[in-house]
């Protein structure tokens, strides 16, 4: 049987991407101006809803099942992380930002620590740079696996084919977490990166374990394509659904796989290299269709690329120290310089930025986190009008939001 | 037997309902095991050996739940919908020939029409439930159920015309007997029977609200669709009705297209049970593999593919009947 793989792009639908109707998207527009009769149904999708990937709330005005207007209300998972970061020392911040994007905590730690390093002009040893790259790519695969499972579940339901795909992706994700557990001692919130490098060097047997794990996953990505991408139902549910045109995406600051699925070839790993990415060759998958299917293709191709990078990196980590500074033990032991720094990394969901303003004490004066999901969720008022409730769920799933980082 | 049709029918129905309820309950255990194996997990293991008493535990849990009727719900419709749903499903079994001879609870000469009409009534309790819940998700689910019922009932009835034409009778017993000695309609005449069989199964999936056509429930979109506000045994009745409906559709497919109780060696109930349960397991397999269609896509498939194809099968079957 000829199996179509997501490596080959599907044909973009003919014609230009439909321009969105901007007036509907204005969140402050008075409902009475477009619903004078009051016969639209107002529905609160969330915050308690199985498919909003957390506690996201979208207020929908529905005409039958077709959405007329949608207004997202983030903030149900707001924990005051940025304010908390003003009260904690540089040593205490990484374990807190771990909980922002709780699907890829390693990359969160990487972003804040790189900002602190830039602020203090700390040179990170080469071995640590490679370890960071390895960890980030390992994490990206795990994050995309979680997205794949939940995306399938948005279409197949928790008691059906979607759940089967979900269970399979989670089986693989568990093995990735096992690797991290061997490395850092924690499965999820690692607190392994610190200013100047890493706390944990890779243990004995780690390379073998990672190689085994990622080679298995590489073989299984083909199974996922056979199970999901080859399925006519999946195709019909995603093709042409939730089309994002490149201009809108750039206006809203959307980044990562969503931007690349809309035809913009932009990846910070390649275009603004950090860690060891400057020494690696990275193939950036780009699609032009901009629909949910294109986002699936981009993420699957990214997953394969990350697996390739992990397998390449695991054998080529240079020797040397893993931390430039003496490891600190007390929370207040590290004093930063005054000044400010902004550093962005390309996480699984896009540009994850950290802007730190420091006043020369052991605490940051202000720490601003730029989460990619927050900007992706800004697409909802543009994508939802005109599509049915079912399509809104699929679109939401294809944007891969993590509410922990949307609300912080 | 037939001297006292009321006594015979009543007794038969009592035994049948008891047995089929048990089968439906333990098929939930089977499905959970089956799904577990598909998903690399063991399924229920804790209650009884191999989790075999899990249906009893589920039942106990459902019965113990607090029974709430939402304040703004239409309490009469809300409370009568679940038993009515189960009733319409159970009614369809009355005309089944379970074994050669007179093993039919009620041997109606329009048996197949009776089954189909009472089976399609299930849309009404579903709609009642969605409307009476006074919940927006439930209402959307109910509207979807009503809209899709109009779409899939047409090809469902048309596919059932194929065995009726081929056997020349509306009586279920005659349809099965016409297939005796291996002349199953799914195999012979080649073409219309097999196509109609597949379409019948697909439409039955829609009627029983199973994936890929479980659009009124659609738990990832509509939370739990029509059953959003239901809890405890009221939810349990809907759940049971869904399984019973699937079970009955499997037996109906086995009777109308796969020869019912006919098979190699001695004919009898065992063949019907074997075929029916195989189809039933196949439906589980479909459920745990596929994703869900969107409501408008499913209706488009019904009207653009199912209806013309089923009309074609009816035409071919009619020509076969007249000229072959």
B150-181: pLDDT as tens digits: 888 889 889 988 888 888 888 888 888 888 77
Checking if the pLDDT of A24 tops 50, the result is: no
3-state secondary structure chain B: CCCCHHHHHHHHHHHHHHHHHHHHHHHHHHHHHHHHHHCCCCCCCCCCHHHCCHHHHHHHHHHHCCCCCCCCCCHHHHHHHHHHHHHHHHHHHHHCCCCCCCCCCCCCCCHHHHHHHHHHCCHHHHHHHHHHCCCHHHHHHHHHHHHHHHHHHHHHHHHHHHHHHHHCCCCHHHHHHHCCCCCCCCCCCCCHHHHHHHHHHHHHHHHCCCCCCCCCCCHHHHCCHHHCCCCHHHHHHHHHHHHHHHHHHHHHHHHHHCCCCCCCCCCCHHHHHHHHHHHHHHHHHHHCCCCCCCHHHHHHHHHHHHHHHHHHHHHHHHHHHHHC
Quote the strand ranges of A210-363, DSSP E. 338-347, 350-359
Nearest C-alpha in B relative to A167: B39
Report pLDDT for A223.
Answer: 86
- Partners of residue A393 in chain B, C-beta under 8 Å: 220-221
| Residues A232 and A365 reside in one and the same domain | yes
Q: What is the pLDDT of residue A136?
A: 92
Quick check: B289 and A171 CB within 8 A?
A: no
Residue A345: phi and psi, rounded to 5, are -120, 160
Q: Does some domain include residue A384?
A: no
Q: What is the CATH number of the domain that holds A258?
A: 1.10.645.10
Expressed in angstroms, the distance from the first to the final Cα of chain A is 47
Same domain (yes/no): A152, A65: no
Is residue A13's pLDDT more than 60?
no
Q: Which run of H or of E encompasses A301?
A: helix A292-313
Residue A9 lies in a domain: no
**pLDDT tens-digit readout, B172-208:** 888 888 887 777 887 777 778 888 888 998 888 888 8
pLDDT above 80 for A39: no
Asked whether residue A43 falls in the same domain as residue A122, the answer is: no
Minimal C-alpha gap between B210 and chain A (Å): 9
- Best B135, B215, B221, B305 member to test A by mutation, with max A CBs in 10 Å, is B221
**Which of the residue ranges A297-311, A378-392, B86-100, B117-131 has the most confident prediction, judged by mean pLDDT?**
A297-311
Domain boundary among A42, A73, A104: A73
A contact set with B (CB within 8 A): 41, 43, 49-51, 64-65, 152-164, 167-168, 171, 227-228, 231, 233-234, 236-237, 388-391, 393
| Cβ–Cβ contact B177 with A under 8 A | no
A342 and A193 together in one domain:
yes
Same-domain check for residues A36 and A144:
no
Domains of chain A: total: 2
Tokens describing residue A274? 């950090």
Nearest CB to B220; choose among A171, A388, A393:
A393
Q: Does B289 touch chain A (CB under 8 A)?
A: yes
Chain B neighbors of A43, CB-CB under 8 A:
136-137
In a domain? residue A405: no
Of all residues in chain A, the percent with pLDDT exceeding 90 is 21
How high does pLDDT run on average in chain B? 85
More reliable by pLDDT, A35 or B56: B56
Give the burial string for A165-191 (b: 16+ CB within 10 Å, else e): bbbbbbbbbebbbebbebbbebeebbb
Subunit contact A164:B288, Cβ cutoff 8 A: yes
pLDDT for res A19: 47
How does pLDDT run across A284-330, given as a tens digit for each residue?
888 888 888 889 999 999 999 999 999 988 888 888 888 888 777 77
How many C-beta neighbours within 10 Å does residue B153 have? 19
Task: Give the model's pLDDT for residue A37.
Answer: 67
Whether residues A164 and B221 touch (CB distance < 8 A) is answered with no
Q: Are A281 and A267 in contact (CB under 8 A)?
A: no
Which of A45, A233, A384, A396 has the highest number of chain B CBs within 10 A, making it the mutation to test binding with B? A233
Strand partners, A40: none
Q: Are residues A63 and A85 in the same domain?
A: no
Same domain, A207 and A255: yes
Tokens 């060097």: give the residue. A201
Average pLDDT estimate for A136-159: 88
Query: Residue A164: which of B38, B137, B218 has the nearest Cβ?
Result: B38
B219 and A50 within 8 Å at the Cβ level: the answer is: yes
For residue B290, give the nearest of A41, A171, A231 by CB distance. Answer: A231
Chain A neighbors of B217, CB-CB under 8 A: 157
Residue B136 has its nearest CB partner, among A41, A154, A163, at: A41
pLDDT at res. B2: 63
Position A3 confidence tier, pLDDT thresholds 50, 70, 90: very low
Task: Name every chain A residue with its beta carbon within 8 A of the beta carbon of B205.
Answer: none
A52 and A110: one domain?
no
**pLDDT above 60 (res A275):** yes
B292 and A233: CB-CB below 8 Å? yes
Confidence of residue A22 (pLDDT cuts 50, 70, 90): very low
Considering the domain boundaries, does residue A12 fall inside one? no
Residue of B nearest to A397 (CA): B220
> Across the interface, which of B136, B222, B291 has its CB nearest the CB of A231?
B291
Note the pLDDT of residue A329: 74
Answer yes or no: is A47 within a domain. Answer: yes
CB-CB contact of A228 with A297 (8 Å): no
Residue B100 or A90, more confident: A90
Instruction: Write out the residue range of the structural domain in which residue A52 sits.
Output: 22-73
Chain B residues with CB inside 8 Å of A159's CB? 211, 219, 287
Predicted pLDDT at A330: 74
Q: Where are the domains of chain B?
A: 72-323
CA-closest candidate to residue B39, choices A152, A166, A147 = A166
Give the mean pLDDT of chain A: 84
The DSSP H or E segment spanning A397 is helix A389-399
User: Per the CB < 8 Å rule, is A157 touching B136?
Assistant: no
Q: What is the pLDDT of residues B249-306, one digit of tens each?
A: 888 888 888 887 777 877 778 888 888 889 998 888 888 888 888 888 888 888 999 9
Residue A354 lies in a domain: yes
Both A89 and A66 in one domain: the answer is: no
The pLDDT of residue A21 is above 50: no
Least confident of A64-73, A365-374, A395-404, B93-102: B93-102
Which of A164, A233, A393 lies closest to B212 in CB terms? A233
How far, in Å, CA of B94 to CA of B12, rounded? Answer: 9
Q: Which residue of B has its CA nearest to A391?
A: B294
- Count contacts between A and B (CB, < 8 Å): 100
Distance of CA A301 to the CA centre of its chain: 15
**B140: nearest CA in chain A?**
A65
Rounded CA gap, A403 and A78, in Å? 9
Among B291, B295, B300, most A C-beta atoms within 10 A, so best to mutate, is B291
Mark which of A73, A101, A133 sits at the end of a domain.
A73
């Amino acid at each position: 049987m000829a199996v179509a793989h997501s490596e080959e792009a599907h044909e973009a639908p003919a014609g230009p991407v439909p321009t969105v109707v901007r007036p509907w998207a204005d969140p402050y527009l008075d409902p009475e101006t477009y619903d004078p009769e009051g016969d639209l149904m107002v529905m609160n999708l969330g915050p308690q809803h199985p498919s909003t990937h957390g506690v996201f709330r979208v207020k929908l005005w529905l005409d039958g099942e077709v959405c007329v207007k949608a207004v997202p209300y983030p903030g149900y998972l707001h924990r005051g992380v940025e304010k908390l970061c003003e009260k904690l020392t540089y040593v205490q911040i990484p374990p807190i930002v771990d909980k922002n994007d709780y699907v890829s905590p390693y990359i969160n730690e990487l972003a804040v620590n790189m900002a602190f390093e830039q602020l203090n002009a700390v040179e990170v040893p080469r071995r640590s740079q490679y370890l960071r790259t390895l960890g980030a790519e390992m994490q990206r695969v795990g994050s995309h696996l979680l997205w794949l499972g939940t995306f399938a579940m948005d279409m197949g339901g928790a008691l059906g084919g979607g759940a089967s795909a979900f269970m399979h992706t989670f089986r693989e994700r568990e093995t990735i977490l096992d690797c991290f557990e061997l490395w850092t001692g924690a499965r999820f919130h690692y607190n392994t990166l610190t200013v100047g490098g890493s706390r944990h060097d890779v243990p004995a047997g780690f390379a073998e374990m990672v190689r085994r794990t990622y080679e298995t996953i590489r073989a299984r990505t083909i199974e996922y394509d056979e199970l999901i991408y080859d399925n006519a139902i999946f195709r019909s549910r995603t093709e042409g659904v939730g089309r994002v045109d490149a201009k809108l995406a750039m206006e809203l600051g959307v980044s990562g796989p969503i931007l690349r699925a809309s035809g913009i070839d932009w990846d910070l790993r390649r275009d603004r290299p950090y860690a060891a990415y400057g020494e690696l060759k990275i193939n950036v998958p780009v699609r032009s269709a901009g629909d949910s299917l294109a986002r699936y293709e981009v993420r699957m191709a990214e997953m394969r690329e990350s697996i390739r990078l992990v397998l390449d990196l695991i054998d080529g980590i240079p020797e040397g120290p893993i931390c430039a500074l003496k490891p600190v033990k007390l929370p207040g032991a590290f004093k930063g310089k005054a000044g400010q720094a902004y550093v962005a990394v390309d996480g699984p969901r896009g540009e994850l930025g950290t802007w730190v303003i420091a006043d020369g004490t052991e605490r940051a004066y202000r720490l601003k986190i730029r989460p990619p999901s927050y900007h992706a969720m800004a697409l909802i008022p543009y994508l939802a009008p005109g599509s049915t409730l079912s399509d809104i769920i699929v679109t939401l799933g294809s944007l891969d939001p993590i509410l922990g980082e949307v609300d912080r | 037997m037939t001297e006292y049709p009321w006594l015979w029918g009543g007794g038969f129905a009592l035994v049948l309902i008891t047995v089929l309820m048990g089968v439906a309950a333990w098929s939930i255990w089977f499905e959970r095991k089956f799904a577990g194996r598909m998903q690399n997990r063991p399924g229920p293991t804790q209650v009884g050996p191999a989790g075999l008493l899990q249906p009893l535990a589920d039942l106990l849990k459902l019965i113990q739940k607090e029974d709430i009727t939402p304040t703004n719900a239409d309490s009469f419709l809300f409370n009568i919908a679940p038993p009515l749903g189960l009733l319409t499903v159970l009614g369809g079994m009355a005309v089944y020939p379970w074994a050669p001879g007179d093993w039919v609870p009620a041997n109606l000469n329009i048996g197949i029409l009776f089954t189909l009409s009472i089976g399609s009534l299930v849309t009404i309790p579903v709609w009642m439930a969605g409307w009476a819940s006074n919940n927006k998700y439930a209402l959307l689910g109910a509207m979807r159920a009503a809209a899709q019922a109009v779409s899939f009932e047409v090809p469902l009835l048309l596919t059932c015309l194929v065995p009726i034409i081929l056997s020349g009778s509306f009586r279920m017993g005659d349809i099965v007997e016409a297939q005796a000695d291996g002349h199953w309609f799914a195999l012979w005449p080649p073409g219309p029977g097999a196509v109609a069989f597949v379409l019948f199964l697909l439409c039955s999936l829609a009627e029983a609200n199973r994936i890929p056509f479980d659009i009124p429930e659609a738990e990832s979109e509509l939370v739990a669709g029509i059953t959003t506000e239901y809890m405890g045994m009221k939810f349990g009745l809907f759940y049971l009705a869904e399984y019973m409906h699937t079970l009955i559709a499997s037996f109906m497919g086995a009777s109308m297209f796969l020869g019912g109780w006919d098979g190699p060696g001695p004919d009898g109930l065992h063949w019907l049970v074997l075929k029916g349960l195989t189809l039933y397991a196949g439906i589980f397999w479909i459920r745990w593999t596929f994703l869900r269609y969107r409501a408008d896509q499913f209706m488009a498939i019904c009207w653009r593919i199912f209806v013309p194809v089923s009309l074609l099968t009816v035409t071919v079957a009619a020509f076969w009947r007249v000229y072959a």
